[in-house]
């Protein structure tokens, strides 16, 4: 398969499997999406979705969040990895949103990435899923699959993101990154990957 044929095949198969992929993190607005994505670093979406309902019940806006103490925030998220740091970041970024942005989540990469605990991937998810801006957040599933599909030799997620953006059409990015994540979880998990089940990888590497 040529690279172009691979790209077409991947898109076609993923569209069949996941025509309308939902955002895997439960949220109600831009702010709760931002907090959920921040919490998901070094944790699973499933775990985040288990703990956020209680937190968001009391604090689904920056103003309500800073009415809590860092310790109280930590109590809600203690089952998540790095809960100490994340509780401080959530409190501090909420304070900035209230003071600097009138309680709203900014909609530029630069402003988002200046917030405590918000890296490029988190900003990319918020920009694509909350604001509809073309972005290609690369998580471990996407990084791994892009390498398996021989579409990147990326040593890191930054390089893989550049390659993904270069190869796939921009209008597909926001949907495609979710489709690849779902495919990775269902058909090509990092642990116990079954080569027969992972049919996209098998097909594109055998032709």
Q: What is the CATH number of the domain that holds 85?
A: 1.10.340.30
Domain range enclosing 18: 3-22+135-206
The 10s digit of each residue's pLDDT in 157-194 is 899 999 999 999 999 999 999 999 999 999 998 888 88
**Number of other CB atoms surrounding residue 88 within 10 Å:** 15
114 & 196 share domain: no
The 10s digit of each residue's pLDDT in 96-117 is 999 999 999 999 999 999 999 9
124 & 197 share domain: no
Q: Which residues are catalytic?
A: 121, 139
CATH number at residue 9: 1.10.1670.10
18 & 72 share domain: no
37 & 124 share domain: yes
User: For residues 150 and 155, what is the distance between their CA atoms, to the nearest angstrom?
Assistant: 13
User: For residues 204 and 90, what is the distance between their CA atoms, to the nearest angstrom?
Assistant: 42
Q: Dihedral (C-alpha) 90, 94, 95, 97: value to the nearest 10 degrees?
A: 140
124 & 139 share domain: no
Are the beta carbons of 200 and 5 closer than 8 angstroms?
Answer: no
Domain count, the chain: 2
Last residue of a domain, one of 76, 106, 129: 129
Torsions phi, psi of 31, nearest 5? -65, -45
Whether the full predicted model's pTM is greater than 0.85, yes or no, is: yes
Report the range of poorest mean pLDDT among 41-50, 67-76, 89-98, 102-111.
41-50
Last residue of a domain, one of 85, 109, 129: 129
Last residue of a domain, one of 107, 129, 151: 129
83 & 173 share domain: no
Query: Using DSSP, how many helices (H) and how many strands (E) does the chain show?
Result: 12, 0
Q: Which residue has the higher pLDDT, 11 or 155?
A: 11
């Amino acid at each position: 398969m040529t690279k172009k044929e691979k790209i077409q095949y991947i898109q076609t198969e993923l569209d069949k499997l996941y025509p309308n992929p939902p955002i895997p993190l439960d949220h109600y607005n831009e702010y709760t999406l931002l907090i959920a994505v921040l919490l998901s670093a070094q944790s699973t979406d499933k775990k985040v979705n288990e703990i956020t309902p209680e937190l968001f019940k009391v604090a689904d806006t920056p103003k309500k969040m800073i009415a809590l103490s860092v310790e109280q925030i930590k109590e809600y998220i203690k089952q998540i990895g790095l809960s100490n740091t994340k509780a401080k970041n959530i409190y501090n970024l909420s304070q900035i949103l209230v003071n600097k942005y009138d309680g709203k989540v900014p909609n530029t990469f630069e402003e988002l990435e200046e917030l405590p605990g918000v890296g490029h991937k988190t900003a990319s998810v918020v920009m694509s899923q909350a604001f509809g801006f073309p972005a290609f957040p690369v998580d471990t599933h996407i990084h791994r699959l892009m390498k398996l599909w021989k579409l990147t030799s990326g040593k890191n997620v930054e390089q893989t993101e550049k390659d993904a953006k270069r190869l796939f059409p921009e209008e597909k990015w926001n949907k495609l990154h979710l489709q690849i994540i779902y495919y990775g979880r269902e058909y090509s998990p990092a642990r116990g990957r079954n080569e027969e089940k992972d049919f996209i990888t098998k097909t594109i590497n055998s032709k």
